[in-house]
Amino acid sequence: MAKEKKSALKEKKGSSVSEITNLSSIESIKEKRRSKINTDTLVSSILNKDITALSRAITLVESKNPAHLEKANTIIKACLPHANKSIRIGITGVPGVGKSTFIETFGKHLTAKGKRIAVLAIDPSSSLTKGSILGDKTRMEDLVKDDNAFIRPSASGDSLGGVARKTRETIILCEAAGFDVIIIETVGVGQSETTVHSMVDFFLLLKLAGAGDELQGIKRGIIEMADAIAINKADGDNLKHAKLAKIEFNRALHLYPEKTSNWQPKVMVCSALKNEGIHAIWELILEYVTMTSKNNYFNEKRHEQNKFWLIQTIEEQLKSDFFNRSDIKKELENQLYLIETNQTTPFAAADYLLGLKTK
Amino acid sequence: MAKEKKSALKEKKGSSVSEITNLSSIESIKEKRRSKINTDTLVSSILNKDITALSRAITLVESKNPAHLEKANTIIKACLPHANKSIRIGITGVPGVGKSTFIETFGKHLTAKGKRIAVLAIDPSSSLTKGSILGDKTRMEDLVKDDNAFIRPSASGDSLGGVARKTRETIILCEAAGFDVIIIETVGVGQSETTVHSMVDFFLLLKLAGAGDELQGIKRGIIEMADAIAINKADGDNLKHAKLAKIEFNRALHLYPEKTSNWQPKVMVCSALKNEGIHAIWELILEYVTMTSKNNYFNEKRHEQNKFWLIQTIEEQLKSDFFNRSDIKKELENQLYLIETNQTTPFAAADYLLGLKTK
């Protein structure tokens, strides 16, 4: 570099630029070129179904380094025209229902048919523990070794919204890498099902046949979101219970208003452990895709999801920008106290706090 | 005024102020004094249970004139220490269920016991039609003539949030005017039940006994909010159906998780027309108030409602400030198009739009 600076080529009267500018702009151009080569290479590798490149790109998406995120955005943008081609399946169910076994059996069933599948996860606890429900890959021993399967643990993040964004962007990368089916797993806790539901085409709820009180413990919102309920561990002595549970759930599902997709949610029984009923679930999903593609609901839903995430992201940011201001935090406490002591109303307090916005 | 200006008293050397300042500040002081007298008089009249004063204050709350709203805020603030002492009851049900007849019979039952009751309404359609579900007061002929009853049609407004604010503030004024029970009526449409639910202590859902398919048409969220369901028009041939419906609803209610209040919602049958079962509903409400006062849920719920309205008002304002900007509106359309054509992601689009915020 120093050599180049002293080169006779630079000895032009009147038009020399400052050394520092010269140096830093050369560096900057070089850096950009290097970065461009890197991201271009990554993108073409991803499009060539290179799993290592895919993993590296996902790592950039999950990074907290702004330079990495810039690269990630470039890669995602380049991948976008090649995305949107998979079937996205959300799978939820309480711990113990056999999600890992189900995904392993279901995944192997698909790869045996020549499908390439990616398994992602949204784990609401991972933002706290920095762990992941898929961290223990040993639970999917066979699938992990399968060349046509790609398993990626849940991104960690400070908020469910942050994790959701990373997962949504990872879906784009996986689709660009030619995966036919993307499975997104989540645990039946809090808001995570709603989050998964808003990024998948088909939402599958795994249940167990219990002691007759199947309906008691269910969060109604989740049943309402389900496109199918699969009663797992329907084998041996359990089979009878499972069939009874199927009747109960079918009855419960009929209480809900018809879906805009015109799809009537189905209840299935299966045993992931014994590989029974798994093919029927895949057939059902294909039936759903065929039907909703015909009536155009499939595409409409994806458009709605895109719009949802756009508005959602903006609204979350507007709120956090406001409520995380230290002056607002302090004054919010004061105003809450004034409300509780009947000195002001919630509306007058809101007006007051909003008045601080431009200060 | 012109006379005063020419008065010899003004002829002081060196200390005269500009005529204009003098004039306008005198006017301003006089206006403030008049206004203060007005609002002070209104407040003390309200506290003396003067219905005309109450009506005038509500008209100020509902006004779009900023000067009126300023007065309204002063009055509300002065009334606040005297508020919070009523039982607030929300009543909802689809058109035809007999809400007006129920409120009339229920209201007469209470005034006969020496209670003073106020009936307000939240009508989601009024913002469009500028009409009101209570506009036709002839539907409550007897109650309207009752000195211990005060009926006020729904405020109109550009948004449900705006109407809600006016109703919440009207509750404060009615409570300061010594009303023991405040009934807030709404039609079973859209978000209005949620709005009413978040400003009352007890939420009553009116239903009819149908032809055996009682559960079909119900919005699950509304049942979940109900502290009691009253099956109305349970008279004559209908009585048998109503009792069957009661069993079905009781069954449905047991499917829901227990409420944090520990209150188990009840199903009642009544005939507002024949004044049957009305007293039992009032007794049930008193039972609820006693129980939730003991376990402190009653006050906790009001605190939570206050906090809800504070946060809700701020969030709505933040969103409308942002999305109503003409530049944002235009760019939002552009970004949506770019998303649909796979040229950007919802997240990148959100980042871009938020970047315009400070411009």
Residue B146 has pLDDT above 80, yes or no: yes
User: Which residues on neighbouring strands pair with residue B149, listed in sequence order?
Assistant: B117
Of these ranges, A289-303, B88-102, B110-124, the one predicted with the greatest mean pLDDT is A289-303
Contact criterion met (CB below 8 Å) for A93 and A197: no
pLDDT computed for residue B215 by the predictor: 47
Contact yes or no for B224 and A224 at CB 8 A? no
pLDDT computed for residue B174 by the predictor: 97
CATH placement of domain B84-295: 3.40.50.300
DSSP B199: T
Six-digit token string for B182: 């405040």
pLDDT computed for residue A10 by the predictor: 44
Question: B12 vs chain A: nearest CA distance in angstroms?
Answer: 43
Residue B74 has pLDDT above 60, yes or no: yes
Q: CA distances (Å), A47 to each of A54, A171, A174, in order?
A: 9, 14, 9
**Segment A96-118 mean pLDDT:** 94
User: Could you give the CA distance from residue A134 to residue A143 in angstroms, rounded to a whole number?
Assistant: 12
**Segment A6-13 mean pLDDT:** 45
Residue B121 has pLDDT above 90, yes or no: no
**Model pLDDT for residues B335-356, shown as the tens digit of each residue:** 999 999 989 999 999 999 999 9
User: Could you give the CA distance from residue B69 to residue B66 in angstroms, rounded to a whole number?
Assistant: 5
Contact yes or no for A307 and B346 at CB 8 A? yes
Helix, strand, coil % (nearest 5) of chain B?
60, 10, 30
**Segment B288-308 mean pLDDT:** 95
pLDDT computed for residue A59 by the predictor: 94
Contact yes or no for A310 and B354 at CB 8 A? no
pLDDT computed for residue A318 by the predictor: 95
Q: Which of A168, A318, A335 sits opposite B318 (nearest CB)?
A: A318
Work out the pLDDT band at A253, boundaries 50, 70, 90. Answer: confident
Residue B274 has pLDDT above 90, yes or no: yes
**Segment A91-99 mean pLDDT:** 85
For chain B, helix (H) and strand (E) counts, in that order, are 15, 7
| Residue bearing the bigger pLDDT, B332 or B253 | B332
Residue B111 has pLDDT above 80, yes or no: yes
pLDDT computed for residue A12 by the predictor: 46
Continuous H helices in chain A: 2-6, 19-47, 51-62, 66-79, 99-112, 126-129, 141-145, 160-176, 192-197, 220-225, 238-253, 278-294, 297-323, 326-340, 346-355
Work out the pLDDT band at A1, boundaries 50, 70, 90. Answer: very low
Mean pLDDT, chain A, whole residue set: 85
Residue B329 has pLDDT above 70, yes or no: yes
Residue A248 has pLDDT above 90, yes or no: no
CATH placement of domain B27-82: 1.20.5.170
Comparing CA positions, the residue from B75, B84, B32 lying closest to residue B54 is: B75
Six-digit token string for A312: 């959602």
**Crossing angle (nearest 10°) for helices A160-176 and A66-79:** 40
DSSP A155: P
Work out the pLDDT band at A308, boundaries 50, 70, 90. Answer: very high
Q: Which of B216, B313, B339 sits opposite A346 (nearest CB)?
A: B313
**Model pLDDT for residues A165-216, shown as the tens digit of each residue:** 899 999 999 999 999 999 999 875 667 888 899 999 999 999 887 633 344 4
Work out the pLDDT band at B269, boundaries 50, 70, 90. Answer: very high
Interface test with A, best of B163, B299, B314 (most A CBs within 10 A): B314
Contact criterion met (CB below 8 Å) for A143 and A108: yes
pLDDT computed for residue B359 by the predictor: 64
Percentage of the residues of chain B whose pLDDT score is greater than 90: 57
Work out the pLDDT band at A163, boundaries 50, 70, 90. Answer: confident
Of these ranges, A158-162, A316-320, B205-209, the one predicted with the greatest mean pLDDT is A316-320
Q: In angstroms, how far is CA A209 from the centroid of its own chain? A: 29
**Segment B99-127 mean pLDDT:** 88
Least confident of A6-15, B33-42, B182-191: A6-15
**Segment A19-41 mean pLDDT:** 73
DSSP A86: S
Three-state DSSP at B321 gives helix
* Superfamily of structural domain A83-295: P-loop containing nucleotide triphosphate hydrolases (3.40.50.300)
**Domain map (residue ranges) of chain B:** 27-82, 84-295, 309-355
Instruction: Pick one of 2.170.120, 1.20.5, 1.25.40, 2.30.29 as the CATH number of A23-79.
Output: 1.20.5
**Segment B232-256 mean pLDDT:** 86
| Residue bearing the bigger pLDDT, B162 or B72 | B72
pLDDT computed for residue A154 by the predictor: 76
A80 at the B interface (CB within 8 A)?
yes
Q: Which of B303, B309, B346 sits opposite A309 (nearest CB)?
A: B346
Q: Which residue of A has its CA nearest to B216?
A: A255
DSSP B98: -
Q: Which of B215, B310, B335 sits opposite A346 (nearest CB)?
A: B310
Q: Please name the amino acid found at residue A23.
A: L
Contact criterion met (CB below 8 Å) for B200 and B90: yes
| Residue bearing the bigger pLDDT, A345 or B7 | A345
DSSP B114: T
pLDDT computed for residue B159 by the predictor: 77
Six-digit token string for B273: 């027309």
Three-state DSSP at B176 gives helix
Contact yes or no for A310 and B255 at CB 8 A? no
